[in-house]
Amino acid sequence: MNVYARPIPLPHGRYPLAGGWTRFSQVEILERGKPPRISDDIPPDLLDRLTARRPAVAGLPLDRPRVMGIVNATPDSFSDGGRYDAASHGADLIRDGADILDIGGESTRPGAAEVPAAEETARIVPAIRALAHAPISVDTRKAAVARAALDAGAAMVNDVSGFDFDPALAQVVADARVPVCLMHAQGLPATMQDDPRYDDVLLDVYDALEARIRRAEAAGIPRARIVVDPGIGFGKTQAHNLAILRRISLYHGLGCAILLGVSRKRFIGTIGGADDPADRSPGTLALTLAAVAQGVQIHRVHDVRGLIQGLRLWQAVNNEKAD
What is the distance between the alpha carbons of residues 319 and 277, in angstroms, rounded to a whole number? 32
Task: Please calculate the CA angle 301-222-262 and round it to the nearest 5 degrees.
Answer: 15
Q: CB–CB of 32/204 below 8 Å?
A: no
Alpha-carbon span 202 to 244, nearest angstrom:
5
Taking phi first (over 0 means left), then psi (-120 to 50 degrees means alpha), and beta for anything else, what does residue 202 get?
alpha
Residue of 54, 265, 266, 280 marked catalytic: 265
DSSP letter for 57, please. Answer: B
264: left (phi over 0), alpha (psi -120 to 50) or beta: left
Catalytic residue among 300, 305, 312, 321: 300
Active site residue 300: yes
Q: Which of 294, 287, 295 lies closest to 261 in space, CA to CA?
A: 287
Q: What does the DSSP 8-state code read for residue 23? A: E
CA–CA dist 186, 306 (Å, integer): 31
Decide if 207 contacts 215 (C-beta within 8 A): no
Beta-sheet pairing, 226-229 with 180-183 = parallel
| Contact assessment for residue 258 and residue 16, using Cβ atoms and an 8 Å cutoff | no
Q: Bridge-partner residues for 269, per DSSP?
A: none
**290 to each of 9, 59, 99, 244, 311, how far by Cα in Å?**
11, 25, 20, 12, 11
Cα(183)–Cα(229) distance, integer angstroms: 4
DSSP 105: S
Report whether 308 contacts 67 (CB < 8 A): yes
Positions annotated as catalytic residues are 265, 300
